Structure 1
Amino acid sequence: MPLPASAAVWLRSYGAPSTPHCHDFAQLVLPLEGSLEMEIGGRGAVLDRRTAAYVDQGVRHDQASPQRNRAVILDLDRQALGGGLADRLAARPLIVLPPEARSLVDYMGQSLARGPASPARLAHWMPLLIEALGGGAAAAEAPRLAGLLAALRQEPFRPWTTAAMAAAAGLSTSRLHAVFRAELSATPRAYLAGLRLAHVQRWLAEGETPIAELACRGGYADQSALTRALRKATGLTPAAYRRQAQESRSRPQEP
């Protein structure tokens, strides 16, 4: 389904306890630093960089923290997650963030620190975030995609064509596009490009391999093509992304 126009992302800090309240939209609370005490539907929770939370539409909650903290807050229509993932998160609102999700949240925080996210950037983040939170396979809603998505994640740099992806999913190319749009808010090629770019971003953050070599390894025609793709997704050149990511990784994290 297309990203709802009401979706919005914020960078926030919290202090004294808030008045318990609820929203007519769903919310993801994705900590960047410090810890945050929350009560969600009568259940207590402590969030940190390893633990996020999902607050379902209409659920009463509040939050407080005695220490410095920052979190990425994503307000969205629960349908943007897909009914299966939203229902699973509503039943178990605490989310243990895998390393790839933490890296994505870190990048989102860095970007938001420079200014608000455009709708286009938010639309780029959403499929990656859903994938990182465990909803990319959409097993409950699009089981025929599960095998294809697993193959794309395992071999993102294989020379995939749309026809090859459709064949792997047992769908026609037109149906493949429709299912991707409905479940992941992306085209098959855009989803694959996001997976590839995520690998390149990790390589940039973790090492000093020349950017031209990473562009070739990542399947880009040349360094300029990688620069255009990364600038479109993040607003940064590869060199600037590497510098910012490595500076962020070198800073000590709050306990």
Structure 2
Amino acid sequence: MLTAATYSIAMRSYGTQSTVDTHNYSQLVLPLAGELSMDIAGRGAILDRTVAAYVEAGSRHDQVSDVANRALILDLQPRDLDARAADRLASRPYMSMTPEATNLIDYMGASLNKGRVLPHKLQLWVPLLVDALLGDEPQTPSRLASLLTAMESDLSKNWTVDIMAERVGVSASRLHAIFQESLGKSPRAWLMDLRLQQVCRLLTNTELSIAELAYRSGYADQSALTRAMRKATGLTPAAYRRQTRVRD
């Protein structure tokens, strides 16, 4: 279930000085470049683009490197992983990276560099990553996360409920139930919110015409976007753009 999570992610590099640590949350150490030597509760390994690490909450660990390196460090609170996944990760703290995991890590590293790692993006990304690291077939939460990621990356597509349900592999009625249980919204309401969020970002950060950003965000035309914006914010797209520019 995609409940509200408390993920925290950062990009870090390590040097020749040992950094011993322990904490009450778990971590995934996901190399992006170079390599580092890591010890977790007395078990050592070299991490590079082929090996990732899971540090169980409360485990003493340290890491050193004498070469240039970069890694994503993902902090996970106890409620962020189901018990089965947490147990499986703890049983093998060093994991071979699957191609799927490598692609996901590269994607999030690029997003972090661009300042685009928003909470909802982590909520979509983490279930997919855990499945990829464990070599599992995507479960329903991850399949839902995959759908949400696809919707976010192609909002101009005609995302009907039937198309969404087929993507997840469930019936339309079951998809409604999953969305309500996991996200507190219907599939259509989630999509409408996602489209409006993109419109607001584009209005604030680009000079695209309103007709163009309406098309990119999945609205039939500028009039449809104007009606949706006025209902949600009380402002037309042009007025919203003027207001955000004045604030800047």
Q: Give the drift of 1:115.
A: 3.1
Task: Say if 1:31 and 1:47, in contact at 8 Å, map to a contact too.
Answer: yes
In the superposition, the TM-score normalised over structure 1's length comes to 0.57
Supply the AA of the counterpart residue of 2:108: M
- Correspondences of 1:77-226 after superposition (within 5 Å): 77-115=77-115, 117-134=117-134, 145=140, 159-161=163-165, 165-167=169-171, 172=174, 175-177=177-179, 181=182, 224-225=216-217
Matched, 1:2 2:3: yes
Task: Say if 1:41 and 1:59, in contact at 8 Å, map to a contact too.
Answer: yes
Structure 1 residues 188 and 106, CA gap change in structure 2 (3 angstroms): farther
Cα deviation per residue 1:71-117 (whole Å; 9 max; x = unaligned)?
00101114312111111010111111111211111121122223373
Which runs of 5 or more residues in structure 1 are unaligned? Answer: 140-144, 194-221, 227-255
Supply the AA of the counterpart residue of 1:4: A
Task: Say if 2:19 and 2:64, in contact at 8 Å, map to a contact too.
Answer: no
User: In structure 1, what is the equivalent of residue 31 of structure 2?
Assistant: 31
Cα deviation per residue 1:195-248 (whole Å; 9 max; x = unaligned)?
xxxxxxxxxxxxxxxxxxxxxxxxxxx98258xxxxxxxxxxxxxxxxxxxxxx
What is the alpha-carbon distance in structure 2 between the residues aligned to residue 188 and residue 16 of structure 1? 51
Aligned residues: 179
Matched, 1:65 2:89: no
Which runs of 5 or more residues in structure 2 are unaligned? Answer: 151-158, 192-213, 219-248
Task: Say if 1:21 and 1:61, in contact at 8 Å, map to a contact too.
Answer: yes
Q: Give the drift of 1:175.
A: 5.0
What is the alpha-carbon distance in structure 2 between the residues aligned to residue 72 and residue 62 of structure 1? 15
Q: Which has the larger radius of gyration?
A: 2
Task: Say if 1:84 and 1:138, in contact at 8 Å, map to a contact too.
Answer: no
Task: Say if 1:22 and 1:60, in contact at 8 Å, map to a contact too.
Answer: yes
In the superposition, the TM-score normalised over structure 2's length comes to 0.59
User: In structure 1, what is the equivalent of residue 234 of structure 2?
Assistant: none
What is the alpha-carbon distance in structure 1 between the residues aligned to residue 163 and residue 176 of structure 2? 20
Structure 1 residues 160 and 172, CA gap change in structure 2 (3 angstroms): closer
User: In structure 2, what is the equivalent of residue 42 of structure 1?
Assistant: 42
Task: Say if 1:31 and 1:52, in contact at 8 Å, map to a contact too.
Answer: yes
Supply the AA of the counterpart residue of 2:23: H
Structure 1 residues 107 and 160, CA gap change in structure 2 (3 angstroms): closer
